[in-house]
Structure formats: C-alpha cells, structure tokens
A and B are shown apart, each in its own frame.
Chain A
C-alpha cells in the first residue's frame, strides 16, 4: 500500500475536525439522524389510471390538502395502485414519471387563436373560442352538406370538416363525440386507434 504524505495528512486532519470533537461528547443531537419525513402522511389519495398504454395501470394520485374549501388540491405524487390486478402497484418509467406530465411546462392553460397569416398565439375567452369555432362549423356544414347523392338516395352527410379523436380520452367522451358528430351528419372522422 502506498500512501502519500498528503493523503496521510488529509485523512488525519479532516478526521480530526469531526471525530475528536465527538470524542469529547459534543455530538450533534440525535434528531438530526432522523430519516426524511414521509411526505404523504396526510395527503389525499385518489384512485385513477395511467393514461399512457393499454395496460391501463391503476395509479394512486396524492394531492396536498384534505379537499377542504380553501385548500387547493395540488398533485404532489403519483404511484401505482397495489389493488389493481394487472399492475399490482408497479409502474413503468412513463407511469412513474406521470407527475411531470401533469405538471409539464407545456400544459395549455387558456384558449388561444392563431389568426391567418399571424406568427403568434393570441389568448381568447372560452366564449369567443366556442362561438368562432361553431360559426366556422355551421358555415362549412351549411355550404357543403349533401342531402341526396346523384342517385337520389338520401345520404345526409357532411364531409368537408374532418375530426380525429383521441384514444387517450375516456369512453364517455368517445361516445359523446361520436353521437355529436353523427348528429351533424359528419362522416369524416377517425381515431388514433387506427394508427
């Protein structure tokens, strides 16, 4: 074993700064050796599901506060639901990182519009957004709706506005979207499921 002079002093010197003091009975208090406090002790737990792949793992979402009126529930942690028979509490790297998806810096917060030819977004109100979009839809539908085909068969279709539906959305919104689109006579819609 080869120990240089410098290493020797370093070992002795630094060692002294701590242990010789402790030797004399001046240890830092025991409380400083406590583990980090368990951060979920009184957090609210909500059962939910990972939105990524089709294993649809059960997750437990922990929020700050007890849902009392003035305490805004803020998500602080997400982990696997041990009761779910499929994932049994486990999560993959995507599921284990869900907190950062919920809290992503790229989450959209407000309705926006990018006007034709513009190079930026403009914040608008929900009312404005809904009215402007519905106006576009109605104008397009009324202009291009086909009531009968060339053979005179009633077809009642609208195929100049298309719609792509998400496979990350729940069954209820999927159903409602389908119902609304058919009521408009729309036939130009498809889902992520295809690809």
Chain B
C-alpha cells in the first residue's frame, strides 16, 4: 500500500476491483465502512462475482475474469475524452510531457522491439529523448506527438465504451457509471482509493493491471493524497515484511537487485544500479545504492568485508536465470533439484498444476518441511484416494518434518500491508518439542558451519565468515536481529556537511538510512528498515496510538518504513508551491523553511518549492511514470486474453494471433500443450478465498471448519439450468490438467456475460480445501490451474482459466 489501512477512511470514492476486501481483509475493510459512514463516501465493486464486498457496495459491475486492462484502459480513455484530469498534477508530477524516442511504435498489439522466438522485447526504443546533458527532453504544452501524453491518448483511444463492453462483458451503462464515479475524483480535493489484491496480480498480465490503475491515479492526482494511492491488500500477516527482506533470489534485502552473471565485479554491479538523474535538481534517491549495499555486506560479513576484497562482493552468488516458484518447480520436474525446503509453505496446495508439483517432489532426494501443521505437501507421498493418488513404495524422497512455532509462541516483528512494522510478544511455549523458525535455521547453519570448518568443502569462506553476533549462538534473539536489520555505526559516523560533527558513535544504533555510508563504517541488514531500532530503542514496539491530525496517521504507533512515513509520495499532496491540494486533509506542507505536517515528508526536508524537486524521489525523473519502460510487455498496458480464453481472438487485435495472450509471458515447454481450449472447456473459472478461511491453513482450526466445512463451487442459475445441476448437487469440474469434485452452490450472484456476442459463464472456485485438516476432505483446487505466470514477476494465472463441469 502506498497509503495505509486507516487512511482508507479519508477517501471520497473507494473502488474494489481485483480483490474482495470485505472477505480477504475484513478488519481493514472497516475503514471503507467508516468512509461511507463519516464522509458519505461511495463504494463500487467490479468483480466477476457479486461478493460480500459487493453486498455493502453502492454500485456493483460484473466483469469477465482476466479483462481488467480492457476495463481500466476504457477508464483512461473516458478521463481523457471527458477531460477529467487533474491537469496541474499531471503536467508537473508525471512524465506526460516527456518526449519518447521517435522509433517507438505500437502495431496491432505488439510494441516495437519484439522477438517472437524469445517471447521478449528489446527495449531500445522505449526510452526518453535526451539532451546533451543527459536530461530527458520535455514539451510542457503536451502537444508534441512523441510526448507521453499524446502517445498515451492515442494508445487508449481504442478503448471505447463499446469495445470495452464487448471484451469485458460489463454492460456499457455499468461501465460508464463506474467511469463517472472515478472521474469525480479528478477534482483536486477529491480522492479515490483503489483496493486490490490477488484478483489483479494472479494473471499473465497481473503487473500491467496494476500499472493501468497507477496511470489512472496519476491522471486524477490521487497519489500521495490522504485517502488516495494504490493499495495492494497483501496476503499474509508478514508478506510485506518477507517481501521487504526479499526472500527471493532476484533481490537482496531492501529491494536491491542481486548480482547476476553480467555483474562481473563490484564496480560493474554498482554502476548498473546507481542511476543518474534524468531531470535537473531531482533527488534521484537510488543514487545512494552503494551506501545501502556496502552496509549490507558489512552486516553479513563484518570485518571480513573490506575495501581490500571489494567488501566480499564475490562471496555473494550470482544468479544466472529465474528461480521464481514456477521456475523452481519446473527445474524440480526436470530432475534438476536434489533437495527442497518448505518453511511454512504448502506448495502442493498453493502452486498451480498440482500434478506437476507432486511429480516434482517425488524426484527429490530430500524434502524438508518446517511448519506448525501437518501440511498436504509433507504427505504428498501418501495415498489419499482421489484427493491424492500416490504409491509410497515408489517414492524415494526422504522427507523431514520439523515442528515449528506459531505467532503466539514467538516474539518479533511483522510488517502489515500499510508498511507499519509492529512488534509482538510470545504468550506461551509451542506444543511438544516444537521450535521457533529462528532456532531451526540457526541449528542448520551452525551444523553446516561446524561441518565446513572440520571437514572443509566447496567455497567455505562466506559460511565461516558470516557474522553471528548472538549472545546465545543457537538462539539468536529477535531483538538482536532487528537491531542488525536496522543498522549500526561500526566506526564514528560524521556529518557530511560538518566533518567535526559525529552523528553516531561507533557501536551505536543508527537513526536511519540517511546515516549509511559506503566506506565500511556502517552496517545495515535492510536499508529501508533503517532506524526502526535506533538508539531510542525498538520503535516497532511503540504503542502510542494518539492521532492528533484525525487522519489516522498514528505516527507513534510502531514504525513505518521508510523513515516512519505513512503515506508515500506525500509531497504530491501539495501543489508546486507547497500548498495542500486539499487543506482539510493536509498530509504535509511547505512551512516556509521546511516541509512538515501530519507525516514524515517524502522530500528532502529543506527542499524549497522553488528548487523544483519533484515528489517521486525514487525515480531518476522525479515524476510518476505514465510511460514505464521497465515493464516486460510494454511501456503502456494493453489488453491480452488470459492463456486460457473463451475467445479465439483478441477483440482488440482480431487479425494478430501473436497478440492473443501476453506476448512476453514465459511459457514452459509442455505447459503450452496443456492449456485447454474453449471447445472442450467452455467456462471461465476463477479461484478465490472465502472470508471464513485463510488459504490452506484455517481448515486446521475447528471453528473455521464449522463455519465453512465443505468444498464447493459457485455457478449461476443460467448455467445450472443448462446443465441440469441443482443447488447442493455434487459436480465434477475439469480443466485440461485434472479434476475436482465439489458441492454446487447455485446463485444469483454469478451471471452469464455477453462477450463478443457470445454467452460466457463463470465458475467460481474457492480454494481452501485439501486432504488434511478439520474440514471435510476435499480436492486441491490447484489441480485445475495453469502453469503460467505474469511476464514481469511470474505470479501464476490462478484467476482466469477454462473448465468444464457436469453433475458427478
């Protein structure tokens, strides 16, 4: 979330699309209700199903799963056509005026630079025109045909209400009604918040779904505002924190790109990741990359990382290819893995194409499960009849299952979706011999270190030199770890403006990432968490919930990264002169000599408005990107059909089969072949959560098993009638990868849609069941889902695929 949970109450209009906040985040959803009660805010829900969010909405519009870009592209077209833009904001705070390379083009669904064989783009035309100083050229009149605004206008002009309705199945009047509600927030003192979740991410075009909304929020001037922003309602209690710690090989903690083979040495590596400003006077905050990276190396390798050995740069592995979850299961399936660890993760249930996952696990030499619960994955080798067919005698994988503790049995910090890091305290010991994850990982590491120091082995240096400054080696304390994450002075840290002034003495905790240095005098495990555990103590444990502004900022509750800032880009809540667009909801303002107000300014504190330092400090341009070259499938979004689509062509590009589905999405050999076709699998399926359950977890809790005891699928009354299915009948749902059986819930809440002249039915498939737990045993829903992911981040397409069904 660029904003935070409580801030939702400041919105004038709330759009729930690509998510179902009432069911997936009920306690956060309260702030939607508060906005409705106290601000007379309106709520609209756009979803293939009439959800429990829709039950309390002012307006609901149905949509075909997987067509959000068509819908949102139509919104962009509407805003431009009707001139419902926040003009000053767009002109000053976005790259609307930037000129793009003249060779950039878009032709029948494909951008310039496409390589069909590699399914990827060369991006050399997706760039700004630059002047002799390396700064991007702009046309402040926004009239140049190569300026971003004109290119964008042209690009989305194809998204007419008629075509939008034809593709999405949303009735035209319903689409226009949502456009109207959104457009009202173009007024400088009105804001819209968007609450989305996996309904947008779990598509082969997931990242572009969100990008399209980011364009809308920029055009409306809603970024940085109280009650605005782009708000990803994330999954687990600490999914934000684990993402921040970057438990994936692409990044080092704090979203620092990890070394790849091309980064042959530290110098090359740093140069590539330390951008130069693209406009004069911009903060270009990533220019500090060397400080963050060097401090991380010092945190990990301590005195062993010195300027003599390039701060142990070569001790970090270099990545050669993708190792996202789909890529890993592909490798496993190909027999390229010997071992695998699941730390509180149940991939047999959670990853698409269960059969492929199960077959992969059976090829391993060893599998280690660390979990508080007996998961399906831990028993993939056991036969559970139709739910999981297996012959243990044929599976040679050695499986270890280690009992881990739950939240109640541990002390430490979680980071919520609004980036607020909060501390919690252990209440009781776990059952039996269960242990905390920290203790488990420490035991494995210490055992390996012991083996390498006694017996030697391949490249032991990083293992033997890893810092381990824990009072009890086998039990690193959460406090010690958070202090390491937050950052320490190793030597005295001086003020760059006054070399005689010591900002932090050697051994002290640092006040924040501004004190990090690239000379080895500081250590910091995750720069964005810098200062969360300062000399003042553990700020994540703060419990002062006072809210003097009434905006719900509670600046003394926990600690929000970065720098305890609650609303990102909050400089954009003011006009160029530093006056709030909406004085009634002022987040910050220019106080004459500095920025201040109701949040930690997202701006150099003394940057006077005349200096023209723009609000989006994490980009080298200083402004928000309507045109974003970093994306894999295009700098603008485009509607592509899901990989399993009920249509045989993309209505936006009927003549170009290459533009049917995301041209840049990665598809493995063998997976393309098992995509189902509409003639065999005519119904659009989408998987989702129910409010009564949490993934594959709460089915182990009796109370939740009572509340939602048995697997079901939801179908509309039309489809039920066509197929002769009665409410409560058991049905068999098949995709090209397998089948599940479940009770049919026949409902008015799912309607057949008119798509391109065709009647399209949706089958709704809640995902919580499995063959372990207190609920009635059920099938793993991901037996059905396709093994393809988003082109940028490889999040699987769980939300739009094809099935058939019949009475079982």
Q: How many A residues face the partner with a CB closer than 8 A? A: 118
Q: Is the CB of B5 within 8 A of A55?
A: yes
State the Cβ distance, A59 to closest chain B Cβ, in Å: 8
Q: Is the CB of A55 within 8 A of B441?
A: no
Would you call A104 an interface residue if the criterion is a C-beta within 8 Å of the partner chain's C-beta atoms? yes
Chain A 141-173 per-residue mask, 1 if CB under 8 angstroms from chain B, else 0: 110110101010111111111111111111111
Q: Is the CB of B422 within 8 A of A169?
A: no
Partner of B428, one of A74, A144, A160: A74
Q: Which residues of B contact A75 (CB under 8 A)?
A: 408, 427-428
Q: Which residues of A contact B457 (CB under 8 A)?
A: 138, 141-142
Q: Which residues of B contact A130 (CB under 8 A)?
A: 443-444, 447
State the Cβ distance, B693 to closest chain A Cβ, in Å: 7
Give the residues from 396 to 433 in chain B that come closer than 8 angstroms, CB to CB, to chain A: 396-404, 406-408, 410, 412-418, 420-422, 424-433
Q: Is the CB of B340 within 8 A of A190?
A: no
Q: Is the CB of A54 within 8 A of B417?
A: yes
Q: Which residues of B contact A115 (CB under 8 A)?
A: 398
Would you call B485 an interface residue if the criterion is a C-beta within 8 Å of the partner chain's C-beta atoms? yes
Q: Is the CB of A183 within 8 A of B545?
A: no
Query: In the bound complex, what is the Cα–Cα distance between A74 and B430 (angstroms)?
Result: 10
Q: Is the CB of A90 within 8 A of B30?
A: yes
Q: Is the CB of B236 within 8 A of A116?
A: no
Would you call B384 an interface residue if the criterion is a C-beta within 8 Å of the partner chain's C-beta atoms? no
Q: Is the CB of B704 within 8 A of A94?
A: yes
Stretch at the interface among B183-191, B237-245, B667-675: B237-245
Q: Is the CB of B341 within 8 A of A161?
A: yes
Would you call A136 an interface residue if the criterion is a C-beta within 8 Å of the partner chain's C-beta atoms? yes
Would you call A85 an interface residue if the criterion is a C-beta within 8 Å of the partner chain's C-beta atoms? yes
Q: Which residues of A contact B704 (CB under 8 A)?
A: 93-94, 97, 100
Stretch at the interface among B275-283, B648-656, B695-703: B695-703
Stretch at the interface among B125-133, B476-484, B502-510, B618-626: B476-484
Query: In the bound complex, what is the Cα–Cα distance between A97 and B244 (angstroms)?
Result: 29
Q: Is the CB of B793 within 8 A of A94?
A: no
Q: Is the CB of B437 within 8 A of A169?
A: yes
Partner of B337, one of A90, A162, A178: A162
Give the residues from 78 to 109 in chain A that come closer than 8 angstroms, CB to CB, to chain B: 78, 83-88, 90-102, 104-109
Would you call A48 an interface residue if the criterion is a C-beta within 8 Å of the partner chain's C-beta atoms? yes
Q: Is the CB of A86 within 8 A of B28?
A: yes
Query: In the bound complex, what is the Cα–Cα distance between A194 and B793 (angstroms)?
Result: 7
Q: Which residues of B contact A108 (CB under 8 A)?
A: 371-374, 401-404, 432, 434
State the Cβ distance, A109 to closest chain B Cβ, in Å: 3
State the Cβ distance, B477 to closest chain A Cβ, in Å: 9
Would you call B343 an interface residue if the criterion is a C-beta within 8 Å of the partner chain's C-beta atoms? yes
Contacts A55-B417, A170-B410 given: A111-B300 contact, CB under 8 Å? no
Stretch at the interface among A11-19, A20-28, A32-40, A117-125: A117-125
Q: Is the CB of A171 within 8 A of B445?
A: no
Q: Is the CB of B698 within 8 A of A52?
A: yes
Query: In the bound complex, what is the Cα–Cα distance between A83 and B448 (angstroms)?
Result: 44
Partner of B323, one of A49, A93, A190: A190
Would you call A9 an interface residue if the criterion is a C-beta within 8 Å of the partner chain's C-beta atoms? no
Query: In the bound complex, what is the Cα–Cα distance between A100 and B424 (angstroms)?
Result: 20
Stretch at the interface among B54-62, B312-320, B725-733: B312-320
State the Cβ distance, A160 to closest chain B Cβ, in Å: 5
Q: Is the CB of A100 within 8 A of B422?
A: no
Q: Chain B: which residue is nearest A101 at the CB level?
A: B701
Query: In the bound complex, what is the Cα–Cα distance between A113 and B794 (angstroms)?
Result: 33
Contacts A134-B448, A164-B347, A165-B345 given: A194-B27 contact, CB under 8 Å? no
Q: Is the CB of B239 within 8 A of A193?
A: yes
Q: Is the CB of A140 within 8 A of B428?
A: no
Q: Is the CB of A174 within 8 A of B323?
A: no
Q: Chain A: which residue is nearest B259 at the CB level?
A: A155
Would you call A179 an interface residue if the criterion is a C-beta within 8 Å of the partner chain's C-beta atoms? yes
Contacts A93-B692, A110-B432, A190-B248 given: A172-B407 contact, CB under 8 Å? no
Partner of B482, one of A101, A142, A145, A172: A172
Q: Is the CB of A48 within 8 A of B425?
A: yes
Q: Chain A: which residue is nearest B341 at the CB level?
A: A163
Q: Is the CB of A157 within 8 A of B443?
A: no
Q: Chain B: which residue is nearest A73 at the CB level?
A: B428
Q: Which residues of B contact A54 (CB under 8 A)?
A: 25, 233-240, 416-417
Q: How many B residues face the partner with a CB closer than 8 A? A: 160
Q: Which residues of A contact B700 (CB under 8 A)?
A: 101, 104-106
Q: Is the CB of B445 within 8 A of A156?
A: no
Query: In the bound complex, what is the Cα–Cα distance between A47 and B426 (angstroms)?
Result: 8
Would you call B691 an interface residue if the criterion is a C-beta within 8 Å of the partner chain's C-beta atoms? yes
Partner of A121, one of B371, B401, B425, B557: B401
Give the residues from 2 to 42 in chain B that come closer than 8 angstroms, CB to CB, to chain A: 4-6, 24-28, 30
Would you call B351 an interface residue if the criterion is a C-beta within 8 Å of the partner chain's C-beta atoms? yes
Partner of B416, one of A86, A101, A158: A86
Q: Chain B: which residue is nearest A192 at the CB level?
A: B345
Q: Is the CB of A168 within 8 A of B401?
A: no
Q: Is the CB of B402 within 8 A of A129?
A: yes
Q: Which residues of B contact A85 (CB under 8 A)?
A: 6, 545, 547, 552, 554, 557
Partner of A174, one of B247, B545, B795: B247
Would you call B176 an interface residue if the criterion is a C-beta within 8 Å of the partner chain's C-beta atoms? no
Q: Chain A: which residue is nearest B794 at the CB level?
A: A194
Contacts A51-B237, A51-B406 given: A61-B337 contact, CB under 8 Å? no
Q: Which residues of B contact A160 (CB under 8 A)?
A: 336-339
Q: Which residues of B contact A57 (CB under 8 A)?
A: 27
Would you call B368 an interface residue if the criterion is a C-beta within 8 Å of the partner chain's C-beta atoms? yes
Query: In the bound complex, what is the Cα–Cα distance between A105 and B699 (angstroms)?
Result: 11
Q: Which residues of A contact B28 (CB under 8 A)?
A: 53, 55, 86
Q: Is the CB of B365 within 8 A of A140?
A: yes
Give the residues from 55 to 84 in chain A that come closer than 8 angstroms, CB to CB, to chain B: 55-58, 61, 63, 72-75, 78, 83-84
Contacts A91-B27, A112-B400, A164-B342 given: A187-B447 contact, CB under 8 Å? no
Q: Which residues of B contact A92 (CB under 8 A)?
A: 26-27, 691
Q: Is the CB of B459 within 8 A of A87?
A: no
Q: Which residues of A contact B350 (CB under 8 A)?
A: 192, 195
Q: Which residues of B contact A136 (CB under 8 A)?
A: 338-339, 365-366, 398
Contacts A130-B443, A190-B324 given: A172-B438 contact, CB under 8 Å? yes
Q: Chain B: which residue is nearest A52 at the CB level?
A: B694
State the Cβ distance, B474 to closest chain A Cβ, in Å: 10
Q: Which residues of A contact B24 (CB under 8 A)?
A: 53
Q: Is the CB of B368 within 8 A of A133?
A: yes
Q: Is the CB of B248 within 8 A of A169?
A: no
Would you call B760 an interface residue if the criterion is a C-beta within 8 Å of the partner chain's C-beta atoms? no
Query: In the bound complex, what is the Cα–Cα distance between A52 and B694 (angstroms)?
Result: 7
Query: In the bound complex, what is the Cα–Cα distance between A50 and B342 (angstroms)?
Result: 21
Query: In the bound complex, what is the Cα–Cα distance between A171 and B458 (angstroms)?
Result: 30
Query: In the bound complex, what is the Cα–Cα distance between A51 and B416 (angstroms)?
Result: 10
Would you call B463 an interface residue if the criterion is a C-beta within 8 Å of the partner chain's C-beta atoms? yes
Query: In the bound complex, what is the Cα–Cα distance between A180 and B23 (angstroms)?
Result: 37
Q: Is the CB of B318 within 8 A of A153?
A: yes
Q: Which residues of B contact A156 (CB under 8 A)?
A: 314-318, 459, 462
State the Cβ distance, A185 to closest chain B Cβ, in Å: 4
Q: Is the CB of A171 within 8 A of B485?
A: yes
Partner of A172, one of B26, B412, B557: B412
Chain B 329-360 per-residue mask, 1 if CB under 8 angstroms from chain A, else 0: 00110001111111111010011000000000
Q: Which residues of B contact A192 (CB under 8 A)?
A: 235-236, 239, 242, 344-345, 350
Q: Is the CB of A189 within 8 A of B412?
A: no
Chain B 571-587 per-residue mask, 1 if CB under 8 angstroms from chain A, else 0: 00000000000000000
- Name 5 extra pairs, CB < 8 A, besides A48-B425, A164-B342: A53-B234, A75-B427, A114-B398, A173-B412, A190-B323
Write 21 A-B pairs (CB below 8 A) sorted by A numbering. A48-B408, A53-B28, A57-B27, A75-B408, A107-B403, A108-B403, A108-B404, A116-B397, A138-B457, A162-B331, A165-B343, A167-B237, A167-B239, A167-B344, A171-B238, A171-B244, A173-B437, A183-B463, A192-B345, A193-B247, A195-B202
**Complex A-B, nearest 8 residue pairs according to Cβ-Cβ distance, in ascending order:** A109-B432, A166-B344, A97-B703, A108-B403, A170-B412, A161-B339, A56-B416, A54-B417
